[in-house]
Amino acid sequence: METPKVFESEYRFCLILWEQEPVSSGKLVELCRTRLGWKPTTTYTVIKRLSERGVLQNDHSVVTSLVSKEAVQAAQLDELVEKTFEGSLPSFFAAFTRHHGLSQAEIDQVQAMIDRYREEHAHE
């Protein structure tokens, strides 16, 4: 199943939801008012839209996510790499590292991820 699209303001809402769930819609209204500056109608509109797209469930005013933070992040990253870098992860990584220096610890982490990936996929 393809991960439903979550737009930027909706993502900020989802960060609150993932942190608090399961959460009442009333509590979400209050959290969105204080953290995002939203009016209650805005929060209820976002809940309705995300519910219609299968991102969350609103069951008797208790809101829970149907899509994980990791799945949404992966879908957004896939879209960015595909749209901006013609699907090339090396091109994305080259652009990222040109504009954001990596610490030695980050380089070690990336290398460890590559090494793990190689080990897991060595027999394919």
Whether residue 68 has pLDDT greater than 90: yes
In whole angstroms, give the CA distance from residue 60 to residue 25. 9
- The stretch 79-104 carries a mean pLDDT of 91
Whether residue 54 has pLDDT greater than 70: yes
For the chain, the average pLDDT equals 94
Q: Where do the domains of the chain lie?
A: 8-69, 88-124
**Which residues fall within 8 angstroms of residue 61, CB to CB, at 6 or more apart?**
24, 25, 26
In whole angstroms, give the CA distance from residue 56 to residue 4. 10
59 φψ region: left (φ > 0), alpha (ψ -120 to 50), beta (else):
beta
In whole angstroms, give the CA distance from residue 123 to residue 16. 41
**CATH of the structural domain 8-69, one choice from 1.10.10.10, 2.30.40.10, 1.10.1040.10, 1.20.950.20:** 1.10.10.10
Task: Specify the pTM.
Answer: 0.78
The confidence score (pLDDT) of residue 6 equals 93
Whether residue 25 has pLDDT greater than 90: yes
In whole angstroms, give the CA distance from residue 84 to residue 98. 16
CA-based max dimension of the chain = 54
Identify the band that residue 123 occupies on the pLDDT scale cut at 50, 70 and 90.
confident
